[in-house]
Amino acid sequence: MKDRFGREIDYIRVSVTDRCNFRCIYCMPEGGVMPKTCADILRFEEIARFLEAIVPLGISTVRITGGEPLVRKGIADFVRMVRRIPGVKDIAMTTNGSLLAGMAADLKSAGLNRVNISLDSLRPERFGRVTRGGDLKSVLKGIDAALENGLEPVKINCVVIKGFNDDEIMDFAKLTIERNLTVRFIELMPVGESKKARMNFVPAGRISRSLGGELEPVEYPEEGKGPAVYYRLPGAKGFIGFIAPMTRHFCAECNRVRLTSDGKLKVCLDSEEEFDVKAALRGGASGEDLRRIFTGALMRKPDGHRMNAVRFGKPGRTMCQIGG
């Protein structure tokens, strides 16, 4: 399925909850957000019904997100539902990793292919501050479990924040030397709480320069490549990637849409326009009706984001409410 700019849309990010056991400083307010009620959130069966309708249009990759998806009861059963949908080739998950150690084996057997783990500091005290109370050890155990259970490629997503963790860039890069990990450095985007942090922005070019001249450009395996540009330290087993939504727009290659936990279809992370899938599902929409909503939404997908023009200030909908 192509949008009006000829981009092939084959990837959907599905948020299963707006709740999270962390309160990361650029993602959520310190007091959290007003959680949705159970009635507000799509049931797993409803999400599966929507996916069954749109996957035949060319969706092959489903990424499960939150909030923190592992806090939702029955998440492995949902993975099994998605795995049974004909045409779904790749099921991925973005998680903070804190609950992954005890769930990795079940998720793998359910059909999960790979995980991205958000991690912004390797220093316990600092990690506690960025997550407002998170335990670094639990995340490191989650990374180990992901590798042990073959949820690969295992990607570490690190949002670089000036004056906070930009002195840890080399420490993160070294994680790739002895282990098959992909560390991706991500530019801070002005979404939700991050709008308050304009002075803390670090461009990807500066991040890469801090690693010196040792990086070797590489072709990353196509599966799960995403929007990053990849490199490798000499002799390293893993990869280093840079995601630069602010300084290297990749909108012309965008292949994704998002379904929020409360049933809104978003065709661009930056756009405020949303399409009400939940109302259609609960109103008895047929598969053809759902496909019509989806294709109509795709025709509204903009050619690119406008985040560079956003004034950092009052937060809007947070990342946990959107699904990243």
* Binding-site residues from annotation for S-adenosyl-L-methionine: 26, 67, 118, 189
d(C-alpha 268, C-alpha 227), whole Å: 14
Residue ranges for the binding site for [4Fe-4S] cluster?
A: 20, 24, 27, 251, 254, 268
DSSP 300: T
The residues pairing with 11 across neighbouring beta strands, listed in sequence order, are 61, 256
Burial class (CB in 10 A: 0-12, 13-18, 19+), 108: buried
d(C-alpha 97, C-alpha 104), whole Å: 10
Residue ranges for the binding site?
A: 13, 20, 24, 26-27, 63, 67, 94, 118, 155, 189, 251, 254, 256-258, 268
The torsion of the CA quartet 93, 98, 100, 102, rounded to 10 degrees, works out to: -160
d(C-alpha 301, C-alpha 231), whole Å: 31
Contact 215, 239 (CB under 8 A): no
Query: Which amino acid is residue 33, in one-letter code?
Result: V
Residue ranges for the binding site for GTP?
A: 13, 63, 94, 155, 256-258
Give residue for tokens 């670089």: 160
- Dihedrals phi, psi of 156, to nearest 5 degrees: -105, 120
d(C-alpha 214, C-alpha 118), whole Å: 25
